[in-house]
């Protein structure tokens, strides 16, 4: 009897270690890890633009986006870096920061808080609804610009007078009549389904050069 009880306790402990409370059996549902080819729509960039999202096994995430930033006064961008976690068997929350630059100097940043929904087959992610294409979750984002002190120390400049000047403020650029927050719409597919724009031709595998 003692041996059986001890064995039961050991098995229970092993299960708790393998599947901690609040987690799901990783083999029972599709996983988000990997690279996703996304199309993103946001105010100020009403046409779809490419975005690559990568979800790493350690819970970190990165993205590379081709949405327009010049209309916000920036000249380049640094790509998004953040983290993600599962909030349900099919939904994942990502929080990401992307640095934005003005002529190589600190300019501002994108602050992204997305919830992504995975379909039952594990090959499609969505966030935000479109006409005729609803999604059960949504995501929010802010775009900000940094402010720097002028010669009187007033925090009003978009760029530093001197490279050593500190960032003294941060101002929202989107949804100026509200709280600076916008909704972002994403539709993502696994990278192995990537196609050439304007056709259904798959990108991968890339053939050898034709003579």
Compute the chain's Rg from CA coordinates: 22
Q: Taking residues 103-126, what's their average pLDDT?
A: 96
Domain extent listing, the chain: 28-193
Distance (Å, whole) CA 121 – CA 38: 17
Q: Which band of pLDDT confidence, cut at 50, 70 and 90, is reported for residue 17?
A: very low
What does the pLDDT read at residue 41?
87
- Give the 3-state secondary structure of residue 164: coil
CATH T-level assignment (fold) for domain 28-193: Lipocalin (2.40.128)
What does the pLDDT read at residue 27?
44
What does the pLDDT read at residue 105?
93
- Give the 3-state secondary structure of residue 27: coil
Mean pLDDT of the chain: 87
Distance (Å, whole) CA 157 – CA 170: 11
pLDDT tens string 139-155 = 999 999 999 999 999 99
User: By C-alpha distance, which of 152, 148, 151 is closest to 167?
Assistant: 148
Q: Which band of pLDDT confidence, cut at 50, 70 and 90, is reported for residue 47?
A: confident
Q: 128 — phi, psi (to 5°)? A: 85, 145
């Amino acid at each position: 009897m003692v041996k059986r009880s001890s064995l039961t306790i050991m098995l229970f402990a092993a299960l708790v270690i393998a599947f901690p409370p609040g987690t799901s059996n990783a083999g029972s549902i599709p996983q988000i890890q990997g690279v996703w080819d996304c199309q993103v729509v946001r105010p100020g960039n009403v046409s779809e633009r490419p975005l690559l999202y990568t979800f790493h096994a350690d819970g970190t995430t990165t993205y590379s986006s081709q949405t327009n930033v010049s209309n916000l006064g920036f000249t380049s961008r640094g790509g998004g870096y953040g983290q993600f976690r599962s909030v349900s068997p099919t939904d994942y929350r990502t929080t990401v920061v992307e640095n934005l630059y003005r002529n190589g100097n600190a300019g501002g940043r994108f602050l992204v808080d997305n919830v992504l929904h995975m379909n039952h087959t594990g090959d499609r992610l969505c966030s935000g609804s479109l006409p005729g294409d609803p999604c059960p979750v949504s995501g929010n984002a802010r775009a900000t610009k940094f402010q720097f002190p002028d010669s009187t120390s007033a925090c009003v400049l978009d760029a530093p007078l001197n490279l050593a000047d500190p960032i003294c403020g941060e101002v929202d650029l989107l949804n100026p009549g509200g709280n600076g927050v916008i909704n972002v719409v994403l539709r993502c597919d696994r990278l192995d389904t990537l196609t050439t724009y304007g056709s259904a031709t798959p990108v991968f595998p890339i053939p050898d050069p034709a003579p």
